[in-house]
A and B are shown apart, each in its own frame.
Chain A
Amino acid sequence: MLASESTDRIAMLRRQVAQLERARGRGEVRADPEAVEELAGVPVHDIAPAAIRAAPTSAFRGGRVANAWAGAETTALPFGHPEVDAATGGLKRGALHDVSPAGAPDMASATGFALACAGLLLRAAGRDSLWLWVRAEMAGREAGEPYGPGLAAFGLDPSRLVAVTAGDTADVLRAAEEGLAARAFGAVLIEPFGDDRRLDLTACRRLSLIADGGRATGILLRTGGIPGPTSAVTRWRISAAPSNGGRQPGNPVFAADLARNRFGPVGAWMMEWRTDEQSFRAPRARPKAEGAGPLAVPLSGRLAAASGDRPSRPPGSGAVVPFRSR
């Protein structure tokens, strides 16, 4: 652990770096000489590697940023959840994000959160954008294979998915690197399985660098593994949270713990994914589930409308009262 004063210093440096990044996004650079000197004075091992990388080199030269694309590259997409957006500035594109479940049974929730992030990215990239899901064979066996109709219901286009099944972590990383470099994919989900020594900081940094250079966004989904070192810009630990559905399961709600954030504070929030709006939001106060125990709530929505010649819900007829068997 770092001493508290060095933690403070790093926090200060992060702020400076974030300032520089923002300036770079606007195309103007105001290199704060104090900050630069401050950074130069810190022993290297005291600075998080992220802090070194985040400082744009051109800022140190004090000149204008040469890369005209810099602004477009670093755009961030709003999550739709005000507090999360305030803390993170949105989901950063052209970067690597790290999503892991809080415990083994939360792997579906972690998958859901990663897919929701992919959904945000794909919505921004356009409906026709391809997306890639590279996963270890074992992950598919343990947590289930991607299911087309389910992905469609979640708001993603399964016909635009390229799914790669790799035998081991080395192949997962190889395919992921190709995918990030390919410039064909709006989002790249990388799902290795288990605690593998090959998924070390170096491998992670390679992915980050490729994502950075190729304008692709990677989401590292660590199903069923102990979260290892990461160089991702954000790291999320996701656990499941009860939904707001009343007596039937509602829209997915995640208890998201932002354990690492290169651009701002960390924190923990409840986030609800709205499949119809393709956006997160803060879950509303949960209506109490009446009665004890899960009594059969009949099907809602589309599935109940079995007849082909009628709309799934009568227009303007008010609430549909479910038929109760008891």
Chain B
Amino acid sequence: MVLTAKHRSAVRLAHVDGQAVRLGLQPGLGLADARARVPGLDVRAADPEADAAFLDRLCDWAQRYTPLAGRRIGTSSVDPEFPYPEDFTLVLDIAGCAHLFGGEEALAADMARRLERQDLTVSIGIASTIGAAHALAAFGRGGRLQAGEERRALAGLPMAALRLDATTVDALARVGLKRIGDLMDGPRAPLTARFGRAPLIQLDRALGLADEAFSPRLPVAPYCAERRFFEPIAREEDVRAVALSLIGALAERLEAAGEGALHLRLSLWRVDGALAHVEAGLSRPSREATVMQDILCRRLDSLAEDFDAGYGFDCVTVAVTEASRRDAEVLSLAGPDTALELTRFVDRVGARIGRGRVRRLKFYASHIPERASRAVPAHVAEEASFPATDVLAGDPPERPIRLFAQPELVEAMASVPDGPPLRFRWRRVTHEVKRAEGPERIAGEWWRQEAPTRDYFRVEDAEGRRFWMFREGLFQVETNHPRWFVHGLFA
């Protein structure tokens, strides 16, 4: 079986399986050539997005071993002309974590066992540098290197194992430098002059002579509590109970550090390798276990429909992914604290139906009606008052209480050039206009794009329904057929 990808209007092989390799196929070969060599070829299209998503999932899954798990380890030996096969490497920084699994080898064995159970072929290399581990896993036979063994182990590996691009590898090969060992003892200056700095930098990195930065895929949570199970748990109540006890543990640590949680993440590792995250945000730092439990449980409730425990979860973690300073507060005895009650409400409802759905109205200085008021999520909105309107005694409101997001087109009869509508048809009902006031002329903002001028009218129909309508465009100046819209409704 082979997977193909289209490159420069030619379909080429992107990935080949073991059997195809034995038949002499390799990535980069044209599909037509491959078909000619192997008539009964099973061809499927490659899906790089799905691959990337899968790797991301796998990377998250690998967080059961260490919080520092990442992808993308810099340049890999891929041809920029045909970027296949992509980099399928995950990097885990297991320093300080291995002893929890009984040593580095035991960790690797556990990982290999679990991944093989998911029908994945893995090659694991453990070394004290990313370069050496990568070379070992991708080009060597995997296994573990003690610190100081890199030189000997890498010497025999092909040049591509240094994560160099394909042109550099080719150029080095042309002068007879095929193995990493060939580079090690050569004169450095001429090599740099001829092949650029990359080969030697990569070599130094692999040997631990130069530093290499690496960024984990998910930011490391400042607080994290975790529990593992010999027997997987599947019932929702159990998950909840575990989450609650973990939150209790976190709350104590937050208290000790004088911080409060702003964002929580509950991660559930399913036995078959799937990983589910439940995230919830708080609008002010909180370290009360009850509040955090409440928010997380509400979020869990709202996901209950697509909560699939499968064969159960064998590892549960709760992490505070965002925390900030929070000082002790004085309890008010005067009565309910409205601001506190509000943030609780925002968090609870936000956790249940989505944080973006709880909003505050914010004034925006614009004379374009629909831009003058906008709704911003309540957890990011700061209090800002609307400018006071000086309502004259006895004057009716000038602006509608409800505004349509999109003005609704109506068929209207009006006198030209700028009379109010006499009759209009909105939502299949004809309205006879009895009273009208206007026009209030609102021109578009010239510093944005050209928008036609609007003439707004407040109109009332025979039944007493009040509308806010406008004519788009000045008659015979901007348009010969002005259109009418209903933009809002008065009480």
Residue ranges of A at the interface with B (Cβ–Cβ < 8 Å): 105-109, 111-113, 115-116, 128-130, 132, 140-141, 143-155, 157-159, 161-167, 171, 174-175, 178-179, 182-185, 239-243, 245-255, 273-276, 289, 293-303, 312-313
Give Cα A167 to B356, complex, Å.
Answer: 12
Write the nearest CB–CB distance from A185 to chain B, whole angstroms: 8
Chain A's closest residue to B336 (CB) is A183
- The interface bits of chain B over 455-471 (1 if a CB of A lies within 8 angstroms of the residue's CB, else 0) are 00011101111100000
**Residue among B390, B434, B438 making CB contact with A296, cutoff 8 Å:** B438
Bound form: Cα–Cα A130–B373 in Å: 18
B208 at the interface (CB under 8 A from A): no
Q: Is the interface of A mostly helix, strand, loop or mixed?
A: mixed
With beta carbons under 8 angstroms apart, the residue of A165, A247, A250 that contacts B396 is A250
B237 within 8 A of A: no
Which of B394, B435, B490 lies in contact with A294, CB distance below 8 A? B435
Instruction: Tell me the minimal C-beta distance from A176 to chain B in angstroms.
Output: 10
Contact A248 B435 (CB under 8 A): yes
Most B-side CB within 10 Å, residue of A143, A161, A175: A175
**B357–A164 CB distance below 8 A:** yes
Q: Which of B33-54 contact A (CB under 8 A)?
A: none
In the bound complex, CA of A275 to CA of B464 (Å): 17
* Nearest chain B residue, comparing its CB with the CB of A148: B373
| Residues 204-230 of B at the A interface (beta carbon under 8 Å) | none
**Interface status of B437 (Cβ within 8 A of chain A):** yes
B420 on the interface (CB 8 Å rule)?
Answer: yes
* A178 x B348 contact (CB < 8 A): yes
Q: Determine if B184 is an interface residue (Cβ-Cβ < 8 Å).
A: no
In this assembly, does B385 line the interface, its C-beta being within 8 Å of a C-beta of chain A? yes
Whether B372 contacts A174 by the Cβ 8 Å rule is no
Q: Is B419 among interface residues, defined by CB-CB distance under 8 A?
A: yes
Tell me the complex Cα distance, A31–B491, Å.
44
Count of chain B residues near A, Cβ 8 A: 72
On whether the beta carbons of A178 and B359 are closer than 8 Å, the reply is: no
User: Could you list some 6 contacts between A and B, CB below 8 A?
Assistant: A148-B363, A149-B372, A174-B352, A182-B344, A241-B464, A300-B437
B463 and A240: CB pair below 8 A?
yes
Q: Across the interface, do B392 and A109 meet the contact criterion of CB distance under 8 Å?
A: no
Specify which chain B residues have a CB less than 8 angstroms from the CB of A296 in the assembled complex. 418-420, 436, 438-439
Q: Are B342 and A153 in contact (CB under 8 A)?
A: no
Q: Is the CB of B488 within 8 A of A275?
A: no
**Least CB distance, A13 to chain B, in whole angstroms:** 36
Which chain A residues border B348 with CB–CB below 8 Å? 178
A152 to B458, CA, bound (A): 17
Distance in angstroms from A309 CB to nearest chain B CB is: 15
Q: Are A248 and B458 also in contact (CB < 8 A) when A162-B358, A184-B345, A241-B464 are?
A: yes
Contact B466 A108 (CB under 8 A): yes
B372 contact from A109, A148, A252, Cβ within 8 A: A148
Q: Are A111 and B401 touching (Cβ within 8 A)?
A: yes
Does any Cβ of A come within 8 Å of B289's Cβ? no
Given the complex, which residues of A lie within 8 Å of B346, measured CB to CB? 162
Residue of B nearest to A116 (CB): B491
CB-based contact B458/A249 at 8 Å: yes
Q: Which A residue sits closest to B391, measured CB to CB?
A: A276
Contact A149 B435 (CB under 8 A): no
Kindly list chain B residues whose C-beta atoms are within 8 Å of the C-beta of A129.
338
CB–CB B386/A167 < 8 A: no
Q: Separation in Å of the A38 CB from the closest CB of chain B?
A: 40
CB distance from A15 to the nearest CB of B (A): 34
Question: Inside 8 A of B363's CB, which chain A residues have their CB?
Answer: 148-149, 158-159
Q: Is A240 a contact partner of B361 (Cβ separation < 8 A)?
A: no
B residues within 8 A CB of A255?
Answer: 464
A147 touches B465 (CB 8 A): no
Asked if A108 and B401 sit within 8 Å, CB to CB, the answer is yes
CB pair A249 B490 closer than 8 Å: yes
On whether the beta carbons of B386 and A149 are closer than 8 Å, the reply is yes
A218 → chain B closest CB, angstroms: 14
Known: A148-B361, A249-B490. A243 touches B385 (CB 8 A): no
Asked if A249 and B401 sit within 8 Å, CB to CB, the answer is no
* Residues on B with beta carbons closer than 8 Å to the beta carbon of A106: 465
Q: Do A163 and B359 touch across chains, with their CB atoms under 8 A apart?
A: yes
Any A CB within 8 A of the CB of B240: no
Ranked nearest first, the 4 interchain pairs of A and B with the lowest CB-CB distance are A112-B491, A144-B402, A148-B373, A108-B489
Give CA–CA (A130, B385) in the complex, Å: 12
Check if B403 sits within 8 Å of A144, measured CB to CB. yes
Q: Give bound CA distance, A107 to B488, whole Å.
A: 12
**What chain A residues lie within 8 Å of B390 (beta carbons)?**
302, 312
With A171-B352, A242-B464, A299-B440 as known contacts, state yes or no: A149 contacts B389, CB within 8 Å.
yes
B258 an interface residue at 8 Å Cβ cutoff? Answer: no
From A108, A165, A171, contact of B490 by CB (8 A): A108
A276 & B393 in contact (Cβ 8 Å cutoff): yes
Which of B369, B373, B383, B402 is the one whose CB lies under 8 Å from A108? B402
Q: Tell me the smallest distance from the CB of B475 to a CB of chain A, in Å.
A: 14
CA of A105 to CA of B467, assembled, Å: 11
Q: Tell me which of B378, B401, B418 contacts A112 (CB under 8 A).
A: B401
Complex Cα–Cα for A254 and B399 (A):
18
| A183 CB contact (under 8 Å) in B341, B399, B491 | B341
**B349 interfacial by beta-carbon distance below 8 Å:** yes
Asked if A109 and B352 sit within 8 Å, CB to CB, the answer is: no
Residue B400, interface by CB 8 Å: yes
Assess whether B400 is in contact with A147, with CB atoms less than 8 Å apart.
Answer: yes
- With beta carbons under 8 angstroms apart, the residue of B338, B359, B437, B490 that contacts A130 is B338
A299, closest chain B residue (CB):
B440
Residue B32 CB within 8 A of the other chain: no
Chain B's closest residue to A114 (CB) is: B491
CB <8 Å contact, A273 and B491: yes
Bound CA span A149–B387, Å: 9
| Distance between B115 CB and nearest chain A CB, rounded to angstroms | 38
Flag if B375 contacts A294 (CB, 8 Å): no
- B122 within 8 A of partner (CB): no
In the complex, which residue of chain B has the Cβ closest to the Cβ of A186? Answer: B338
State A165–B352 Cα separation when bound (angstroms): 12
Give the most central of B389, B440, B465, B491: most A CB within 10 Å.
B491
Nearest CB of A to B274, in Å? 26
B160 CB to nearest chain A CB (Å): 52
B391/A245 in contact, CB under 8 A = no
Whether A157 lies near B463 (C-beta < 8 A) is no
Q: Which residue of B lies closest to A164 (CB)?
A: B358
A151 to B491 Cα, complex, angstroms = 10
B436 A294 Cβ-Cβ under 8 A: yes
Task: Determine whether the beta carbon of B436 is less than 8 Å from that of A105.
Answer: no
Q: Which of B384, B402, B439, B466 contacts A249 (CB 8 A)?
A: B466
